[in-house]
Amino acid sequence: MDAIFRVLPTHMKDLLQGLSKSILEETEEIRLRVNRPIEVSSRGIPHFLPYLFTKSDAEQLISKLANHSFYTLDEELKRGYVTIEGGHRIGLAGKTILESGHVKALRHLSSFNIRIAREKIGSANPLLPFLFDGNWKHTMIIGPPQSGKTTLLRDIARIISEGCPEKGIRAMKAGVVDERSEIAGCLQGVPQLQFGPRIDVLDACPKAEGMMMMIRSLSPDVLIVDEIGRQEDKTAIMEAVNAGITLMMTTHGNNLEDITKRPLLKEIIDQQVFERFLELSSKGDPGKVYSIKDMHGQAVGVHV
């Protein structure tokens, strides 16, 4: 939490440090809204602090964020978030400035959502017998928001990049297309979270375009992407498969049956590209897999 405390006004840092250790250790989000109480979300439960976040607090926070941005702050604001040291991402809301129907900038910022980037090193280890049998299997991780999809994907990327000799897994080239700076949490293009030596990251790059860039110029063995679901994603996925690249991806949904109701994802699944589907739940421990299915939708493992 030190990196987060450094961008907050001192009095707010003191308030947060007054929370119990159990709440702080499990904090997922800190929401700051002008003229409203500070909200701390821990294990999905909101805790409201007896302090109204002020316009002056917002101005101090913005001033500190400007010093943590590689690009100008305006460029960061256009995307709707800023990534700070440690890979933590701060989502932003306020008045949008439009140009030709597209968001050009954000002004009068009034809401900040600090999402805590957590690593669970080793969380993917129990899955290895299902995901690797001499080669990595094309895998899709399915789960609702805050179910730990990205946390699990991040640890899989770490294992791919550094290998796991005791399980006969060699280090391979892992290409990460990190459209929202959540997987690697890059700051000035450098991943802030723990990965092995064979990792390449395209930060803040649209998924489909980034996948094609990876395929053309970085020759990954495994391509890692968060939250697929658009038409252009399908085209890039098939390009990667035809190039012999293994896919590790996530998508929003409650389970395999749920996502097959979405026409585009159904098309991808019907191609039988993905050999493993990991289903996560929003209940219990984030990142915990409650069901593993094969390309035919048959269960091959549960409660990992």
pLDDT in tens, 62-83: 888 877 544 556 666 777 888 8
pLDDT band at 241 (very low <50, low <70, confident <90, very high): very high
Q: Residue 72 in contact with residue 105, Cβ under 8 Å? A: no
Q: How far apart are CA 209 and CA 21, in angstroms?
A: 42
Q: Report percent pLDDT > 70 for the chain.
A: 95
> Does the pLDDT of residue 288 top 60, yes or no?
yes
Last residue of a domain, one of 115, 136, 170: 115
Q: Which amino acid is at 290?
A: Y
Per residue in 164-212, pLDDT (tens digit) is 999 999 999 999 999 888 898 887 788 888 899 999 999 989 999 999 9
Mark whether 78 and 161 lie in a shared domain.
no
Q: Same domain for 174 and 52?
A: no
My answer on whether 89 and 195 are in the same domain is no
Tell me: do 256 and 178 sit in the same domain. yes
Nearest Cα to 119, choosing from 164, 75, 168, 154? Answer: 154
What integer pLDDT is reported at residue 304 of this predicted model?
62
Q: Look at residue 39 in the predicted model and tell me its pLDDT.
A: 97
Per-residue pLDDT for 112 more than 70?
A: yes
pLDDT at 70: 41
Asked if residue 71 is part of any domain, the answer here is yes
Parallel, antiparallel or unpaired: strands 276-280 and 174-178: unpaired
pLDDT band at 99 (very low <50, low <70, confident <90, very high): confident
- Burial class (CB within 10 angstroms; exposed 0-12, middle 13-18, buried 19+) of 115: buried
Average pLDDT over all residues of the chain: 89
Domain boundary among 87, 115, 143: 115
Give the CATH number for residue 9: 3.30.450
Residue 202: which CATH number?
Answer: 3.40.50.300
Domain assignment present for residue 120? The answer is: no
Smallest CA-to-CA distance from 86 within 41, 131, 117, 64 is with: 117
DSSP β-ladder status, 89-99 and 199-203: unpaired
Q: Are 100 and 217 within one domain?
A: no
* Residues 176 and 252 reside in one and the same domain: yes
* Spatial distance between the Cα atoms of 291 and 301, rounded to a whole number of angstroms: 6
**Of all helices (H) and strands (E), which one includes residue 56?**
helix 55-66
Residues 214 and 265 in one domain: yes
Q: Which helix (H) or strand (E) holds 109?
A: strand 102-115
pLDDT band at 284 (very low <50, low <70, confident <90, very high): low
Q: Are residues 108 and 131 in the same domain?
A: no
Per DSSP, helices labelled H in 118-255 are 128-131, 149-162, 207-217, 231-242
CB 117 within 8 A of CB 37: no
Same domain, 53 and 150: no
Residue 91 forms beta bridges with which residues?
A: 81, 113
Cα distance between residue 275 and residue 139, in whole Å: 6
More confident residue, 297 or 75: 297
Torsion on CA atoms 293, 259, 41, 5, rounded to nearest 10: 90
Identify the domain containing residue 86 by its residue range: 2-115
Percent of the chain residues topping a pLDDT of 90: 63
Range 275-282 average pLDDT: 92
Query: CA gyration radius for the chain?
Result: 20
Q: In sequence order, which residues have a C-beta less than 8 Å from that of residue 67 and are 6 or more positions away?
A: none
Give residue 76's pLDDT.
Answer: 67
Q: Which of 77, 97, 115 is the last residue of a domain?
A: 115
Q: Are residues 288 and 230 in the same domain?
A: yes
Is 130 found in the same domain as 272? Answer: yes
pLDDT bin (cut points 50, 70, 90) of residue 261 is: very high
Residue 49 within a domain = yes
Place of tokens 């064979």: 198
Domain total of the chain:
2
Q: What residue type is assigned to position 10 of the chain?
A: T
* Residue range 79-106: mean pLDDT, rounded: 83
Per-residue confidence (pLDDT) for residue 143, from 0 to 100: 94
Q: Same structural domain for residues 249 and 229?
A: yes
